[in-house]
Copies of this chain bind each other. A is one copy, B any other.
């Protein structure tokens, strides 16, 4: 099993056939100027010798790697899994391969990965930035060295970049509307840490949706969690302790909701009777649950990723297309 056969090269085919390497190269690439007979002979010999093009040589020579890179905070989160799968589909349809890295929300690691991808001379990068990423110089660096970057989901709030994101407010509006329509008087938001832009977006959307529905806005109805299970349980504790306890809760994401629901059950509350939930979806399991949350706000990770990939390939093909900022509406699904 350890006998390594060095694969045949164009040169060897040429020698066997007593023709020049360039002819062989052209024949293999179906260059129109090469005679049919020659082309056939070359291909036959290539077959016989088990010729396989050395892509590393081609990449080097062509200054093109037919590879895109994807860098995400995590490769194991369902939200990103859907994204990854779609990206692979788009890329493989374009005959590109996909390099992957996860930053784990560590800016240093993120930077390191980007550097590696850059040195690999990938043809483009798809990215969702980490929660703690603040230094955005890398974008200009990559773009100016000819590597297009398209962001999705977690995108920098810069103009003149290419990005695909979700408008959190539409789903929030629908969620608040739905709660109000069902007669809920106290609607709470269990939000993530203030440091996250994603939290700020949710808060703004919540305030506007509440106002739009003519609801009273009370600061105490905006509860913050650090997104850990303990944090979520504490959030439920504080909700439970409130005098005018909310009957409807919109939460940061599914993980939070699942913890809140569990905590609520433990306190003797009956789901979808004493208390109702809607969350920003990131963990698809509602269809299987006996007593699922009332609804979820979908952000369509697969669709976002697909669109981002399509934009990336547009930019790879044609380097001077205009910047694109796409916003998909989030939607309440019940």
Contacts and interface: CB of A to CB of B under 8 A. Distances in A.
Contact of A144 (B1, B81, B102, B143): B1
Interface in A134-154: 143-146
B85 A74 contact: yes
A241 interface: no
A101 B91 CA distance: 10
B97 A97 contact: no
Q: Give the interface SS of chain A, mostly helix, strand, loop or mixed.
A: mixed
A33 interface: no
Contact of A121 (B56, B63, B81, B85): B56
Nearest to A80: B81
A290 B292 CA distance: 10
Given A55-B120, A56-B120, A92-B101, A258 B288 contact: yes
A328 interface: no
A32 interface: no
Given A3-B144, A145-B7, A78 B75 contact: no
Contact of A1 (B65, B78, B160, B265): B160
Contacts of A184: none
Contacts of A117: 97
A262 interface: yes
Interface in A60-103: 60, 63, 65, 67, 74-78, 81-82, 84-85, 88-89, 92, 95, 97-102
Interface residues of A, number: 64
A116 B81 CA distance: 22
A34 B311 CA distance: 47
Contact of A56 (B3, B60, B283): B60
Contacts of A323: 1
A54 B283 CA distance: 40
Contacts of A54: 60, 119, 121
15 contacts: A5-B144, A7-B145, A54-B121, A55-B119, A56-B121, A75-B84, A89-B102, A98-B101, A261-B288, A261-B290, A262-B288, A283-B285, A285-B285, A289-B290, A290-B291
A57 interface: yes
A304 to B, nearest CB: 14
In the A-B complex, the 5 residue pairs with the smallest Cβ-Cβ separation, listed nearest first, are: A76-B85, A4-B146, A258-B288, A56-B60, A55-B119
A1 B7 CA distance: 41
